[in-house]
Amino acid sequence: MSLHIRLPQAYIRCRLTSLRLRQPIKERMSMKMHMAYRKFWLIPGAILILAVIGCCITIGIWQSGPKLPKLRTAPTFSLPNIQGSPVGLSDSAGKVRLIEFFFANCPDICPATTMNMVTMQNHLSESGIFGNQVEFLSITFDPERDTPEALTAYAKQIGINQGPGWQLLRGTEQETQQIANNFGIMVVKQKDGQFAHSIKSLFLIDGEGVIRQVFDMGTTMDTTEIEKSIKKLVKSL
């Protein structure tokens, strides 16, 4: 005959507690220190991870920046280049275009603008996108003095690499002034043969023929910002 004895619950709890207390003091201290160590690093670690994620998001936004606005469709035109071949805006469809209105005898703003464009030409050529994805078009509104020979000399002197990446265009004075007016540029011929014209006359046009930005000419040009905008549009081609 077997005898079963039911022990009180309080006695069992007491025994379990005494067994725990028998663990070596050093082992219990080690466990407590380990738990404290984990808690100590948990919050800073989480903060560090969130900071890294936030930094990556910020850098991504900074690099891409906001999308460029679509201002309006660029006016169409067709003018002969230095070689006499007709060049229309639609001929370079699918490329990012930067259009400059100038005249070679300009004493200040025009040559400063063109030299800045030469700097951008060199940078974009190093990136491998000048000519095949980006094209510059310079339109003179002084065809009487800006003959093909004069423009060839101007291009050589200032460093323009003529070809698929950059074309100099000319037409009759009436034609070029009409095109400039269609772009919203004021051009007034002075008595001395010089021209007064709008300073904000550098147009960035996307591959679909839409004006995305209009920049100041001359020494106030921000070539770094213009290059960023060009590359941003190239990515969307």
Residue 197 marked ligand-binding? yes
Cβ atoms 187, 195 nearer than 8 A: yes
Q: Which residues pair with 72 in a beta bridge?
A: 211
Helix (H) or strand (E) run with residue 29 in it: helix 25-64
Residue 4 marked ligand-binding? no
Residue type, 234: V
Residue type, 182: N
| Burial of 2: CB neighbours in 10 Å, binned 0-12, 13-18, 19+ | exposed
Residue for token pair 């004075």: 173
Residue 14 marked ligand-binding? no
Question: Which string of b and e fits 146-169 if b means at least 16 CB within 10 Å?
Answer: beeebbeebbeeeebebeebbbbb
Residues of each annotated binding site for Cu cation: 106, 110, 197
